[in-house]
Structures are given as C-alpha cells and as structure tokens.
Chains A and B, each alone.
Chain A
Amino acid sequence: MSDPTHSDASQGAAGLDSAVAIAVEGLNKTFPSRRGVPDVVAAEDVGFTVPYGRTLGIVGESGSGKSTVARCILGLTPVDSGRIEVLGRSITDAGAKALRSWRSEMQIVFQEPYESLDPRYHVWEAVAEPLLLHTDLRGADLARRVHELLEQVALSPDLAGRYPHELSGGQQQRVNIARALATSPRVLILDEPTASLDVSVQEGVLRLLLRLQRELNLTYVLISHDLKAIRAVCERVAVMYLGRLVEIGPTDEVLSDPKHPYTELLIGAELSVDPDTAPAASVVRGEVSSAERPAGCVFTARCPLVTSACHEAQPALVEARPDHAAACILVRSGSAASQGPGAD
C-alpha cells in the first residue's frame, strides 16, 4: 500500500497529480538468495510522493532498503512490482533507451565524492563531460556553461585545472553536484551526500543544496542516516526498516512526536552536542537482521512494545494525524506515542 497521506483516490494513478514530481506506489524489490544467503527484501509495498521543488528525506539503518528505493526511482534497479513515476513519466514501464534519454532530467549524487569522480579528469573536464554527452554545447558556449556551473556550486575557477586528488572532500562533492546539475535536471537523488565529509564541510554542502533547490526549483530525495541533516534539509521524512516504510510525515512532527517505536528509538539513539540534552535512557536491543524476516511486523525482534498481535500480520500505514502515518498496530489505539519505548 502506498503512503495514505498522499494517495488521493480521486486522482487515480499517482502520477496524474501535476504537482507531484515523484510518485512511488506499491514498490516491491527482493534480491534473490545466493549460496547460503537468504532472500533480501529491499522494498516491500513502499509508496510515497514528492511534490515539485520539495525534499523527502528517507532515513533508516543499513539494510533498510533506502538506497534500493533511490536506485529504483532512477530506473537503475528494476522493480519486481509496483509503479514509479518521475516527472509524469512511468519509470517502471520504460525501456532502457527511454530511461537513458530521461537521465539528464534526474540525477544522483553519491556518498563517496572521490570514488564518484574519474581521477584522470580535472575539474573542468569532469563538469564538461555530461554536457558533451547530453547537450550540443561546444566551444565558447560549453566553456560558458561550465563556468556558470562552477559558479553555482561556489567553486573558484582557479580550481578548474585541478585533479580530484588535489581537491578537498567538500570541493570534490561540489564537483559532483556541478556534474549532476550540468544537464539541468529537475530531480536530484542525494544518497548520503555528506556522510563522508567533515562536519564543517557538511554544513556548507547542505547549504549549497538548499540554495540550488530554491534557485532551480529542484525536487530532492535525500537519503541519510543522519537525523541532523534530515532535519536541516527535508520538510517530510520517511522512515524505513527492513524494506518497509514504517513512518512518514512532516519532519518536525515525525522527529518530535514519532508514532512508530522504531522512529522513537532512532531519535533516542541520536547523540546531541549539547551535554544537557541526554539521549533516551533505554538502548535498543539487537541488530537489524534481514536473515530472519518475521511473519508479522518487521520490527518485532527489536521492539520494546511488542505484543502477540504484532507477530500475526504486517501492519499497514495508518494516519495518526493528517499527513502523518505510521505502520504500527499501536497507532490505531493511539498509544504508541504516549507509552513510548523511552519510558521503559
């Protein structure tokens, strides 16, 4: 089932809503077992929408499926079932050729800024490459556009002749962002774009992404395990656990008044830089294990509030408040938040 807060039945298929840049509905993706390794369910019945010019954050631990969902949105990973529409086009029905021609409109920025760059290309060549591939710009026009892109990501033209290893991590990531912007995309997937950067550099890169979004009306999906980055950049956030979307809603509300016990534990594990703001007293037990997928709720193995009913069926996303849904049977009775795991 898809995000109930955004699936308006009167609009039929999600993509028909002209205000929606990305629509994901009933997405399923399982990576089949290899020798000794059981099937990995990376996405199960995942659905959400992202309006134009907005940012959805996807937060979760390793194995939650957040990167798989991102790759499916770009058509880089084929889905098992479900519908994905980006900018009004069906990604899930498109062939390889169509996907390639649309790629200029949807781009991705990865976590490792150095690994994402070709060590043989200096900055100017790296930024010019997508323009040579996807546009007819040549000569002076090409140079003008490269210069403009460097300016947009606040990279000094003096760096144009530098090679990736001669740049700092933050500068490398700015080159990657300039490359991603080269073909004037409207959708950017940001997969942990600041995870490997120093804190002082993270802030600069996130500030840049916010400015570019305002100036270019970009739609973002920000994948991150860092709640501070999610809070700073995303108006809405989706929380994933073992391939399931367990909670979705406005960031400030989800992170201050979580409705799913897992979200609450995730917030409780955050370590504030303020010594007077202690993390939750209780520490979540166990670890994420995709090997033992339970029959009922995916979080039963680690949930402090687990009841016998939780083992029976995977709970659906239910609206706890307008625009804020969680997949926990306690949401229906409205008790998940009041007797949260922090209290035990």
Chain B
Amino acid sequence: MTGPALQVRDLSVEIAGRDVVTPVLDGVGLELRRGRMHGLVGETGSGKSMTARSVIGLLPPGGRVTAGSVQLGGRELLGLGADELRELRGAAIGMVFQNPRTALYPLITIETQMANVLKAHLGLDRRGRAARIRERLRLVGIDDVDRIARSYPHELSGGLAQRAVIATALLCDPEVLIADEPTTGLDATIQRQILELIAFLQSELSLSVLIITHDLGIIAQYCDTVSVMHDGRVVEDGDMRRVLLSPQHDYTRRLIAASALRGLREERPQGAGR
C-alpha cells in the first residue's frame, strides 16, 4: 500500500453538555505518511487530544463526530462498531498517553497486563506470550526484563514505566503509534531518552507515529511533518522545517516566539547579580 498510514479529512466533533452543544473540532484534516513522525501541536483547548481520541473512537461522554472521515491504511474507521474499534486499539493502533502510571493498572504486574493485551488480540500460548513480552521489553531498551516483568507499576521510575507502556503498545505490531504528550511530566533527561526511543522504534519497525504535544521543541527535533492546531482547527500544516522556519499563519508565528521566550531577556536585570 502506498497511501498514508492515517488520514483524517474534514473532521468535525461536538460535545453535548447539559444545556449547550459545544463544537470542539471544525473541519480538521491531517495526513500521517507511512514510516514518518507527524506532530500535532497546540495549546490547551486547541483540539489536539480530541483529534487523537476521535481517531481511536474514544470521545468523552457527549462527544459526537458530526462530519468527516478517518482512514487507517485506507480503511474507514468512523462508523465502526465498538467491538471492531476495540480490536483496532492495541492491535493496528498502539497508544501511549501522558502519565505512564495511570496508563498502567496498579494492581497487577507488568507481565500480567501485557499478557492480557496479547490474550485479547493474538492467539499465543503461555510460553509464546512470555517470550513476546520479553522481546518487546528488550526492544524498548529494558535490560533486566524478568525483574521488570515481575514489577508492579509503582515500583518503576517514570522513565521505566513509560518504556513499559510503549512496549505494551507495540505488542501486536501496530502500523500506527499514537503518542499523546508521551514525555510531559518526565524530567528533561528522561524526556530525551523516551523521544530517542520513539524515534528509534519508528525507523526500526517502520512505524508511523502521530505525536501530540504542546512542546514545539519536540516538533522541531523529532517530527517530519506538523499540524498546528488552534481553537479546534488546523491553522497551518506541512513539512516541519517549512512550518517552523517560514510560518505563514500568525498563530504559528506567535507560538514559535512564545516558545522561545526570546523577547524576555532584554527585560531581565542585567549583570551577574553580585
């Protein structure tokens, strides 16, 4: 297949509250090419996470797609039943969310939760599952796989927990990995490790990665293409370097300027402060 791994066209979503219906996405389109990393960047309320949730069929209560199309490898996802969507999630689409500790179920070991995913999607026997789990943990850079497999989520550091989440997302060889703020809340050096891991997996497994972030630095250093979202719309998209180096939309320009915090340094008290 040569078409995009994931294509969203003209997607509109609204959320019905008690008295009012709020439009949250308005004609959103994006294209994730095979084996590439596409960034979806925006601030709170821009609709970036809502776009990701629409793709995987996990809209919040009251949420409804009013128009548009979401295609995974040419297959339309909108209108699929709950069972079909569940089959897609965790199999054809892997998901990594912001807080690894809440993504992992606290009362069972890493091995048990990974085995549950395998039971739901792949017909492997017990030994096959154990081997697959260890192979995936090794893939995400974990050395002592037996100890980590036996651990409970709270026994892992934030970085290790996120690696375990990524290993779980990759269990069934997904074509697309959706990572929603995968490093927010992690320390700078760990953030770097996790992003390097995702970039490594992308090339090693020819994964197509959709990364959702508020951090333009992640876009600038890791993404091939980008969509800038604001107020439920994509205001600018395209090749990452084109968008960041010669932004056309005023909002993109403002976001870049604010992210760099460059304008402030003239206001800082001068001198070393002795």
Closest beta carbon of chain A to B102's beta carbon, Å = 17
Residue A265 interfacial (CB < 8 Å): yes
Contact flags B173-208 to A (C-beta < 8 A → 1, else 0)? 000000000000001111111011000000000000
- Of residues 212 to 253 in B, which have CB atoms within 8 Å of A's CB atoms? 214-221, 240-241, 244-245
With contacts A271-B220, A275-B220 taken as known, whether A231 is within 8 angstroms of B261 at the C-beta atoms is: yes
Task: Give min CB distance, A57 to chain B, whole Å.
Answer: 10
Which residues of B lie under 8 Å from residue A225 when comparing CB positions? 187-188
Binding-face segment, A73-81, A196-204, A327-335: A196-204
Tell me whether A228 and B260 are in contact in the complex, defined as CB-CB below 8 angstroms, given that A199-B43, A275-B220 are known contacts: yes
A158 sits at the interface (CB 8 A): no
Which residue of A55, A228, A270 contacts B269 across the interface (Cβ within 8 Å)?
A55
A210 within 8 A of B: yes
* CB proximity of B216 to chain A, nearest CB, Å: 4
Shortest CB-to-CB span from A275 to chain B, Å, is: 5
Q: A198-B214, A199-B255 are known contacts. Are A206 and B192 too (CB-CB below 8 A)?
A: no
Does B269 lie within 8 Å of A283, measured CB to CB? Answer: no
Within 8 A of B (CB), among A186-238: 198-200, 202-203, 206-207, 210-211, 213-214, 225, 227-229, 231-236
Q: Does B81 contact A (CB under 8 A)?
A: no
The reply on A1 being an interface residue by CB < 8 A is no
Contacts of A249 in B (CB 8 A): 272
Set B219, B256, B273: member contacting A250, Cβ < 8 A: B273
CB-based nearest B residue for A279: B221
Across the interface, name the chain B residue whose C-beta is closest to A210. B267
A207-B267, A210-B264, A275-B221 known; A199 vs B259 contact (CB < 8 Å): yes
> Which A residues lie within 8 Å of B241 (CB)?
275
Chain B interface main SS type: helix
| A229–B273 touching, CB < 8 Å | no
CB of B44 within 8 A of CB of A169, answer yes
- The answer to whether A271 and B189 touch (CB under 8 A), given A198-B43, A229-B261, A323-B274, is no
Residues B188 and A273 in contact, CB atoms below 8 Å apart:
no
Closest CB in chain A relative to B244 CB, distance in Å: 6
Q: Mark A261-284, 1 if CB is under 8 A from B, else 0.
A: 000011011111111101100011
Determine the interface band of chain B, counting residues with CB < 8 A from chain A: 35 or more
Check if B63 is an interface residue, CB within 8 A of chain A.
no
CA distance A206 to B258 in the complex (A): 11
Decide: A235 and B269 in contact? CB cutoff 8 A: yes
CA distance A213 to B269 in the complex (A): 9
Q: Report whether A54 and B221 are in contact in the complex, using a CB–CB cutoff of 8 Å.
A: no
Residues of chain B lying within 8 A (CB to CB) of residue A99: none
Q: How far is the CB of A143 from chain B (nearest CB, A)?
A: 31
Bound Cα distance from A236 to B274, whole angstroms = 9
- Can you list 26 pairs linking A and B with CB atoms under 8 Å apart? A50-B273, A51-B273, A62-B158, A199-B255, A200-B258, A202-B258, A210-B264, A211-B267, A225-B188, A228-B259, A232-B261, A235-B271, A235-B272, A236-B272, A265-B189, A271-B195, A273-B219, A273-B259, A274-B244, A275-B221, A275-B240, A279-B192, A283-B193, A283-B196, A287-B160, A287-B189
List 15 other contacts, CB 8 Å, given A199-B214, A273-B256, A274-B220.
A6-B274, A51-B273, A51-B274, A199-B43, A214-B267, A228-B259, A235-B272, A266-B188, A269-B191, A273-B220, A275-B245, A279-B221, A283-B196, A284-B189, A287-B160
